[in-house]
Structure 1
Amino acid sequence: MTLPPSAPEDPAAPNSTGLGRLWTLLGTVVAPTTLVTALLYYFGWNHAWWFFNYFGVSSTVLGFSTVDYLMRSLDALFIPMTVTAGGGLLAFWGHDLLRRRLARGAEPRVLRILVPVLACIGAVLALGGFWAVVSPAFFLNRALVLAPLSLALGVALLSYTLHLWRVVLNYRWRDDSSQDPAGPADPEDPADPEDADNPPASPTPTPTPTPPPPPTRPEWATLAEWAIVFSLIGLSLFWAATNYAAAEGETRARRFVAGLPTDPYAILYSADSLSLSAPGVRETRCHDAKAAYRFRYDGLKLVLQSGNQYVFVPERWTPVDGVAVLIPRSDSVRLEFAPPTAGGAQPPHPRC
């Protein structure tokens, strides 16, 4: 089976009419910048929630701004976006290689192999992803992003397999239509001009009719197919990125705790007693009656300052008995920072 030389179009080129129409409709409904900003805000919020949840603090009380959440979303989405872009690039390169081979008129044997193989793989992956949606105890849900990626990859493979199957049908129609409908001539029975008025008794063989071309799909069917495919893939990637953002937020919190001995000390001065009783935190009362800040607290490490809140944790914070301290930012408190000393010892205790 070979491609007829007279075929002007590329049979492996995807039908972009429905896809372009879908993007146009989406652009008129949702502004791309607004959608991207909303997604970044959500993933940044998810990252912040799980980071501070590790310390037992609700991130909603910290007064994060939109810029804060957008900055945190970069940490949550850097690896997922890199992996997705790399996988998409490899997929486009592979499709372009197949398209160029078919455009040169090569036999589509590779399609006969790829179509059933990709269909089986895609069906298994999609079925596993759908099963993970309805069954939280399914083994794919035990991994971080295995279930959503299985669903996304399965749907993508099934969609691409359907495209290849349509290419195979197009090839078959072209091969059938390229055959000579009159049939080959018989060299042993040349035409005799004298017998032109005496036709043979047997009837002339009826030419084989050209098979009709494959039916054209209506535009609404193409739009509906692309919309469903992109919805399933988009929701799966959204699911995967959400799980990754949550895991990355908690991982960052664990790394922060592991690096507490090397972080600078935050020495807190206060005009009034704060009655801090966190493990490892010492309160010292200054005896100078004219001191503006008469209470000093050692053994704290600053996590961050957001809005009007300081978030501190003790130097020896542990998930078992560790506490986080939120101090309102005001003129009644003052901070000093001191570098960590050798051996993890606290800085010298100066007089107030």
Structure 2
Amino acid sequence: MTAQEPSEAPLGIQQLWTIVGTIIAPTSMITALLYYFGWHHAYWFFDYYGVNSTVLGFGTTDYLMRSLDALYVPLTVTAGAALLVLWGHELLRGRLTAGAELRVVRRALPFMAGIGALLTLGGFWSVLSRAFFLRDFLVAAPLSLSFGVLLLAYTLHLWRALPDRAPDEGTPTPEDEDTDEDTNEDPDSGTGGTPDPPEPPPSPPSTPRPAAAALAEWGVVLVLVGLGLFWAANDYAAAVGETRAREFAAGLPGYPYAVVYSADSLSLTAPGVRETRCRDSKAAYRFRYDGLKLMLQSGGQYVLVPERWSRADGVAVLLPRSSSVRLEFAPPLADSGASRPC
């Protein structure tokens, strides 16, 4: 029995990674991906409050830090799944030469190919139609595409690695031959023994695939799987950003008050925000605003929201940092405007 050279597929992968590493610097690629997912996380976080994140002046460091919240779960799950797949492949590869296990693998290949084709079709359908039901579940559509392509590629890899002719029920295995030698009588004794079946003719040697074909195949697989994983991480980053925004809104009562002092009236009319005008005409800050909570400071401006913010009537306030504005912070359980001078 002959099997295809196992070095063909890994050779294609090695050549592909060499080309990718030559064209794209790994550090630059990773930084760009982290920046993108951090931007996506920030966009959907502030979109929940009706703020376009591009006006906040975030820098590269801000986006890179937000990308950790968006990617650590996908990276952990992907790394764990890859480790399980590698262990499973090593276990299966050691059983490809055994008779019974080989027959099971051959019979399982059509089912694996069918499942992979269905998953791939579902992923492509989700790309073409936004109304497809997989779109209703987070990262289901992109993972369907990635897993489907991987399963098809792995099924084809197993099929190529199998011997050209697998033993079946009628072909004697070495254990069966030993049993026959014990039970059959000696042909020279004159009694009728069962003659051994003729050996099948040797299979012609398989022709190795061209390196260019292996390289192109693994390149297409890498592109489809990479796009699916990128799509999944993109959807997950958006979902995490919105989830963090909901958590922040729910925890507003427990955050410190941000008392704003201003030299001029800011005309803040948000629900729950109180304006107090100081009586001292010589005061540097003649207006005080209570009932606000600081969300963050970025790009030379403060982002504040009312304590009783809601999606129905809540607003977000972008206040530029300047010498005419001063912030003081008070414990969350205290009344931000009680006995507080101007």
* TM-score interval (norm. to shorter): 0.7 to 0.9
2:237 to 241, 245, 255: 245
Once residues 235 and 166 of structure 2 are traced to their aligned partners in structure 1, the CA distance between those partners, rounded to angstroms, is 45
Once residues 165 and 300 of structure 2 are traced to their aligned partners in structure 1, the CA distance between those partners, rounded to angstroms, is 68
CA apart distance, 1:168: 1.9
Where do 5+ consecutive residues of structure 1 fail to align?
177-185, 189-206
Local SS of the residue matching 2:162:
helix
Once residues 208 and 333 of structure 1 are traced to their aligned partners in structure 2, the CA distance between those partners, rounded to angstroms, is 92
Measured against aligned partners, the alpha-carbon deviations of 1:8-53 in whole angstroms (never above 9, x if no partner) come to x997777310000000000110001111111110000001000001
Measured against aligned partners, the alpha-carbon deviations of 1:38-92 in whole angstroms (never above 9, x if no partner) come to 1110000001000001111000000000010000011111111111111111111
Once residues 304 and 289 of structure 2 are traced to their aligned partners in structure 1, the CA distance between those partners, rounded to angstroms, is 11
Once residues 325 and 304 of structure 1 are traced to their aligned partners in structure 2, the CA distance between those partners, rounded to angstroms, is 11
Q: 2:12 aligned with 1:22, yes or no?
A: no
Local SS of the residue matching 1:108:
helix
Instruction: Report what 1:150 is aligned to.
Output: 144
Once residues 273 and 8 of structure 2 are traced to their aligned partners in structure 1, the CA distance between those partners, rounded to angstroms, is 66
Q: 2:252 aligned with 1:292, yes or no?
A: no
Once residues 223 and 321 of structure 2 are traced to their aligned partners in structure 1, the CA distance between those partners, rounded to angstroms, is 45
Once residues 84 and 14 of structure 1 are traced to their aligned partners in structure 2, the CA distance between those partners, rounded to angstroms, is 26
Amino acid of the residue matched to residue 330 of structure 2?
A: A
Amino acid of the residue matched to residue 61 of structure 2?
A: V
CA apart distance, 1:346: 4.3
Instruction: Report what 1:194 is aligned to.
Output: none
Taking structure 2 as the reference length, the TM-score comes to 0.86
After alignment, is 315-324 or 164-173 more displaced? 164-173
TM alignment of 1:1-352, pairs within 5 A:
15-102=9-96, 107-170=101-164, 210-341=202-333, 346=336, 348-352=338-342
Once residues 39 and 165 of structure 2 are traced to their aligned partners in structure 1, the CA distance between those partners, rounded to angstroms, is 51
Local SS of the residue matching 1:102:
coil
CA apart distance, 1:104: 7.3
CA apart distance, 1:101: 2.8
Question: In the alignment, is the contact (CA less than 8 A) between 1:126 and 1:153 conserved in 2?
Answer: yes
Question: In the alignment, is the contact (CA less than 8 A) between 1:12 and 1:99 conserved in 2?
Answer: no
After alignment, is 114-123 or 87-96 more displaced? 114-123
CA apart distance, 1:211: 2.6
Question: In the alignment, is the contact (CA less than 8 A) between 2:37 and 2:234 conserved in 1?
Answer: yes
Taking structure 1 as the reference length, the TM-score comes to 0.84
Instruction: Report what 2:182 is aligned to.
Output: none
Measured against aligned partners, the alpha-carbon deviations of 1:249-277 in whole angstroms (never above 9, x if no partner) come to 11110100000000000011111111111
C-alpha RMSD over aligned residues: 2.8
Work out the percentage of aligned pairs sharing the same amino acid. Answer: 64
Provide the aligned length of Structure 1 versus Structure 2: 319
Once residues 60 and 200 of structure 2 are traced to their aligned partners in structure 1, the CA distance between those partners, rounded to angstroms, is 70
Once residues 208 and 92 of structure 1 are traced to their aligned partners in structure 2, the CA distance between those partners, rounded to angstroms, is 35
Instruction: Report what 1:203 is aligned to.
Output: none
Question: In the alignment, is the contact (CA less than 8 A) between 1:40 and 1:73 conserved in 2?
Answer: yes
| Over 6 Å off, 4+ runs | 9-14, 103-106
